[in-house]
Amino acid sequence: MCIIGGVACHVPAPLSKRFFLFLSYEVFSLVSTTPASAHPSFRLCGKVRVPGDKSISHRALILGMLATGQTRITGLLESEDVLHTLAAMRALGAHIEKGSEPGCWIVDGIGTDQPTTPNAPLNFGNSGTGARLCMGLVAGLGVTASFIGDQSLSGRPMNRVLKPLKALGVIINSNDGCLPVTLAGGTDILAQAHETHIASAQVKSALMLASLRADGVTEIIEPALSRDHTERMLMAFGAKVRSESLADGRHRARLYGPAHLQGTKIDVPGDPSSAAFPMVAALCIPGSDIMLQDVLMNPTRTGFIKVARAMGGKIDILNRRISGGEDIADIRVRGSRLHGITTRADIVPSMVDEFPALAVLAAFASGTTMMQGLGELRVKESDRIARSEEMLRAMGVNVKSGPDWMQVEGTGAVWGKATSTALAPVRTDGDHRIAMAALILGLAAFRQIEVCAPECIATSYPAFFDDMRSLGAKFQIVEEGVAC
């Protein structure tokens, strides 16, 4: 064992567009109880450009809002999560307009001007990243703002960000560490040294954003390097940031303030976390051969590719290049014979959002896959260990879990249950990654799967159905399905 850190209808295009583009998440989640089904699909092939990276999209809007002058963003992920951050940046005083090409946005930052105090709560919908990063931002801007979100976000822990912000002198009111939160930012935030107990890019980024105007060195030590897009992008906007690994494995980022950000051009690469779904589908469906174009290859995000390769996945990284300070490449993925693996805690930060997809891959591998160090998955958009376990069990896969681990017994194929059409749709708790993982499972299995509330996919991958369908995937909106 290697150890490392049928027949179906397509969703008619107009229907899928109506579902995922034109209705806001809040409106849709009230009106839709219609599940979607995924059906056994054969030999995926073709090329897809997965949507822009979610983490980079949030940051491009936030730093563009802070900068002096204009920032031109291309390839922005126009998903629910990112559009909530965009609205928040407008509420804080940035002038943001859509450019003429898809994914192009022009941000006129506030620079040294006073930010606007929002006259309504900032609504982050389902987005933990948007909410937590903007808490740091508001703290540093010295304005007062309230933060709200949907049901899932309102149950997620915010103290990981609120506590260190309180220590910086920010006045905070929260619902016992959860949303709604009201935050009165400080005008005199001092540059300080912080040490975090989890490798969280959201916490690290919130602290950096809070400290941008502070005079001196802000230092953040994390137990392991989490995604470093804030550091890279701050440098692209002209800030001085240094990032280094320490001898004991911890990681230190230093920001030399006050930072004066100058508007720039940001080209957002394809999101590796979204790419994981077509990758898993192609790896698990024999004879598949797909190409995913312009995918971000930042080493803090490529854990899933390493693991899938170590399981025997045929994945070729082609045409590597640098774009906007980030490594990108095209990825060829072919149907593969896979074997089980153990993944250790140290690889989690580089693939924290990809475990639902890995759980599906593990079900199609031969042998046991043990995933360790997954505690953070319990507090993502849903309890992703519990939801992944339920999804696999619904298709007859043996799976076990503990507080921070999950073990999947793969048998090389997933049969599904003979009575699956009579089964309840898989519960998603509105979690986009659980919905996509379950749909991919259904494409590669011998029997179909039904998935609750697929509209949640619009939070990160609005074109999921269209992209997957272009590769040969079979989906159906279950008009007379069981309401969920």
Nearest-approach distance from CB 132 to ligand S3P, in angstroms: 7
Handedness of CA 475, 481, 483, 484 (dihedral sign): negative
Nearest-approach distance from CB 205 to ligand S3P, in angstroms: 6
Applying CB under 6 A, which part among 200-208, 312-320, 384-392, 418-426 lies near ligand S3P?
200-208
* Selected binder of ligand S3P within 85, 226, 336, 401 (CB under 6 A): 226
- Catalytic residue chosen out of the listed positions 53, 228, 294, 353: 353
Task: Describe the crossing of helices 355-363 and 384-394 by its angle, rounded to 10 degrees.
Answer: 30
Smallest Cα–Cα separation from 373: which of 139, 120, 198, 123?
A: 198
Residue 112, class by beta-carbon neighbours within 10 Å (0-12 exposed, 13-18 middle, 19+ buried)?
exposed
Say how far apart CA 268 and CA 459 lie, in whole Å: 17
Say how far apart CA 110 and CA 66 lie, in whole Å: 6
Decide if residue 202 touches ligand S3P (CB under 6 A): yes
Say how far apart CA 85 and CA 59 lie, in whole Å: 9
Decide if residue 264 touches ligand S3P (CB under 6 A): no
* Selected binder of ligand S3P within 129, 211, 288, 382 (CB under 6 A): 129
With respect to ligand S3P, which residue has the nearer C-beta, 294 or 353? 353
Say how far apart CA 155 and CA 71 lie, in whole Å: 34
* Segment 55 to 74, residues that bind ligand S3P, using CB under 6 A: 55
43 Cβ contact partners less than 8 Å away, ≥ 6 residues apart = 285, 286, 287, 288, 289, 335, 472
String marking each residue 325-354 x if it binds ligand S3P according to CB under 6 A: ---------------------------xx-
Nearest-approach distance from CB 227 to ligand S3P, in angstroms: 6
Count of residues near ligand S3P by CB under 6 A: 11
Which residue's entry shows tokens 């008009």?
A: 479
Which residue's entry shows tokens 């990681």?
A: 251
With respect to ligand S3P, which residue has the nearer C-beta, 67 or 201? 201
Strands, DSSP E only, in 223-351? 240-245, 251-257, 265-267, 289-296, 314-323, 326-334, 341-343
String marking each residue 151-190 x if it binds ligand S3P according to CB under 6 A: ----------------------------------------
With respect to ligand S3P, which residue has the nearer C-beta, 202 or 211? 202
* Selected binder of ligand S3P within 201, 261, 333, 391 (CB under 6 A): 201
* Segment 356 to 415, residues that bind ligand S3P, using CB under 6 A: 376
Nearest-approach distance from CB 331 to ligand S3P, in angstroms: 20
431 Cβ contact partners less than 8 Å away, ≥ 6 residues apart = 152, 380, 381, 382, 384, 387, 456
Nearest-approach distance from CB 403 to ligand S3P, in angstroms: 17
With respect to ligand S3P, which residue has the nearer C-beta, 200 or 298? 200
Amino acid occupying residue 384 = R
Q: What's the number of CA atoms in the CB half-sphere (13 Å) around residue 228?
A: 27
Nearest-approach distance from CB 48 to ligand S3P, in angstroms: 21
Decide if residue 196 touches ligand S3P (CB under 6 A): no
Pairing between β-strand 474-477 and β-strand 36-39 as defined by DSSP bridges: antiparallel
DSSP secondary structure string for all residues of 365-405: SEEEEEE---GGGGGSSS-HHHHHHHHHHHTT-EEEEETTE
Query: Which residue in the shown chain puts its C-beta closest to ligand S3P?
Result: 55
**327 is an active site residue:** no
* Segment 203 to 222, residues that bind ligand S3P, using CB under 6 A: 205
Which are the catalytic amino acids? 353
Q: Which residues contribute to the site for ligand S3P (CB under 6 A)?
A: 55, 129, 200-202, 205, 226-227, 352-353, 376
